[in-house]
Structure 1
């Protein structure tokens, strides 16, 4: 599979080079690792990574590196260090065996100044992938403008017609090129950024239209194998992202279909990274849909594909997916063994071949997934312990995950017989629902409310139940 780096030359990051001062890249990398240990982070920083940052190849660090750099240089924002905004470059990295690896800390760049070739290069984008997102406006009484306009609908037909010759009397379908491949890659980045911030509800229907066009572009073909590889990879990743939006918004049948589509794309392209990702999400969905045996088998299939990528962090996540399946089957011994393997793999640290879609997978996610296992097994004290750690460790950039882990904590506290604490945690989730739209989280809160109703005379519990009821009806 070909790399998805931009064809244009990166701009050197002179601001970051000035921060290094007189130290060599190796000495500076050692200082970064020491600073990471001071705040409990694990980063595999070396001279090569520093060189890639300074050359501009790495335009934005992942969240772990960002926290370390903020610790090293108090008062400086990422922009002051020469980095680009995260939502401009959110993407994925290493994609297959034999490719030049992208470090886990890198968020690769796709060209933003190129227009699709041919009739589409007219200055006014009819590309459904390229319309900018407005993240400022919202409306609590109807679907927010943010979500309604996140994926434009008016240009989809125009994009398909112009690119593929779909209109009556139009010229035969032309071949697609680098610009179209970049557009699909940008669509994946934008979906991921919005999902991190807002959750799946309201995004799903809009995201399905760029997905349809992505597969039409793939069907149109290209003369260059590198472009074909990029289109297969990005269309598959887009299918997974759209599937996740369906999953998060409770549309399990749709999610299953999109994950299967991604898996088929991976098999056609021989893309082990995409296959592992598709099986990973399939396992997650199977667990949520109460099909634990399928969750175990899908997670094990993901691990078989993932072994080709030499990423211990990926294998840790896939083993956690397996643990979730064992928990659903009530097999405590198998679950505990999988959890131990996952922690051992995680402890080996981040690596150069970690896929970029895994930027969400840090200590908070590790703790949160383990909490879910103990919860399913009915060990409420251990579930509470790990859920509390997940909430404490979660990066505030991931608003949906913060709400998710806090909702998990609220439910575990309720089941553990601690209604006041459960209600307080539930209120914190309600505070986040203005910016997070996730049916999964609302379902978890509704379950917690049912558990707390016998304690409704408690003022703290009564306050939560009143707010939860109002939010459910809104």
Structure 2
């Protein structure tokens, strides 16, 4: 008992505290996040994290924080920052775990490990509120009080520890291991059946659900783990039936698109392009036109956001050719909208109008049993939002604002990320159409939603609105919005 208490006692990190200087923990956390953005990292640093480091609870940061800290303080090492060597912390964590966990022999037959155990602990679809099981925490992220990653937030903990995604990771030996160790842990002759395929499909659904509610920024890194697991199942090549193999290819491809979207929405365009290309290759190998159309649809969207407008048009047209083999007018409508968006940014008013007309024509045919599951987000609000983007790209700001307003008014509240995005687009259109007070009011609504939504795209859109409104900051409504935005941005 005495030994266990001595091991868990924290030693304050005085060196780190000195480096903070006169800044408050919140101000220092904001500086950490700014430094992370400078080098392309994304860390969820806040005052609580700074306090944990200074209290000695975090003896060694994970790799993302390590890169950020070394960028902030060039020439210093982790030891100079008051941290312990990673190998020392890992060794200590292993000793603490061994002290706490009874051996299988001591626990008896009932305690024998089972790959299905995690799923019985957390029902499928549930969002747990308790701590993360240690087996779900990536290696290299250690703390004296918990095995939970200091960078993980509740969204990523919920995803990794929920239902079939955990079953898949555990059954493949992926729980809490590095990528190299994970691939080594998967035996070559592997029998893949209904359980594994169902786990892949459920992982896709869970990513989409959490993205709809909260945005992509907090999910991307965690979602890569089940993606590796899914493609490891494909590499094993030991499915028992053709129908199972087809579902596995489709599930792995959809998972790759979902992870690509998380990268896309959080500003990691190169990673998104790689994931979409992987999904397209999987679709071609499997001869799956639905997956191929989805991959081209997202590739077109990415190309538009990346400023590659001709590629956006070509990818949308390729998607429409693939979708022609299906019986989903709504899918054809969305692909026509993707083409319209690319043409609008090329300044092609005629081509954009034709594509928008086609999109409305397909949409008016109504839903179909052949509509892909991933298109659950696509309804009248998304149709209006995409049309608003086209008019905005052509400089028709008042017309764009009308469509953006309808998109926000029609959107269901549980699609929180899309609702925030539509209101951000509305704020931008109003600001540029000469309605600063109305733009500020819409901006306030976006800030209300950003308490629960994490999306780099939305932050970028709102920042553009702020720049447009700055010359009118003397207006009371505008000034209040700009002040609140600056305050929220400083905390973020």
Q: TM-score by structure 1 length? A: 0.70
Change beyond 3 A, Cα 1:450–1:219: same
Counterpart residue number, 1:206? 222
Query: What does 1:53-452 align with in structure 2 at a 5 Å threshold?
Result: 121-125=115-119, 132-134=126-128, 144-152=153-161, 158-161=170-173, 172-221=188-237, 222-452=239-469
Counterpart of 1:462 in structure 2 is 479
**Structure with the bigger percentage of helix:** 2
1:434/1:380 CA distance change after superposition, 3 Å:
same
Instruction: Name which of structure 1's ranges 121-130 and 410-419 shifts more when overlaid on structure 2.
Output: 121-130
What SS class does the counterpart of residue 308 from structure 1 fall into?
coil
1:132-189 per-residue CA deviation (whole Å, 9 max, x = no partner) reads: 533799xxx97532334422599887532499x9787996532211100000011011
The answer to whether the Cα contact below 8 Å between 1:198 and 1:400 also exists between their aligned partners in 2 is yes
Distance 2:186 2:384 in 1: 55
Are the aligned partners of 1:327 and 1:373 in contact in 2 as well (CA < 8 Å)? yes
Q: 1:122 to 1:213 in 2, by over 3 A?
A: closer
> Retained in 2: the 8 A contact 1:129–1:183?
no
Residue 319 to residue 172, structure 1, CA distance change in 2 (3 Å): closer
**How much does 1:121 deviate?**
4.8
Give the Cα separation in 1 of the matches to 2:377 and 2:166.
32
CA distance, structure 2, for counterparts of residue 148 and residue 329 of structure 1: 42
The separation in 1 between residues aligned to 2:390 and 2:183, in whole angstroms, is 52
8 A contact 2:436–2:472 mirrored in 1: yes
Report which structure shows greater RCO (CA 8 Å, sep ≥6): 1
Change (3 A) 1:369 1:136: farther
CA contact (8 A) 2:200 2:248 kept: yes
User: Which sections of structure 1, spanning at least 5 residues, go unmatched?
Assistant: 1-118
**Taking structure 1 as reference, are residues 354 and 136 closer, same or farther at Cα in structure 2, changes over 3 Å only?**
farther
* Correspondence for 1:4: none
8 Å CA contact 1:128, 1:156 repeated in 2: no
Contact 2:167 2:199 in 1 (8 A): no
Post-superposition offset of 1:124: 3.8
Unaligned runs of 5+ in 2: 1-112, 132-149, 176-180
Aligned CA RMSD, in angstroms, stands at: 2.9
Q: 2: distance between equivalents of 1:217 and 1:366? A: 37
Question: Conserved in 2, the CA contact under 8 Å of 1:120 and 1:162?
Answer: no
- Distance (Å, rounded) in 2 between the aligned partners of 1:261 and 1:162: 21
Could you say which structure has the larger radius of gyration?
Answer: 2
Give me the TM-score of the superposition, normalised by structure 2: 0.67
Partner Cα distance (1:341, 1:286) in 2: 21
Residue 169 and residue 123 in structure 1: after superposition, are their counterparts in 2 closer, same or farther (change >3 A)?
closer
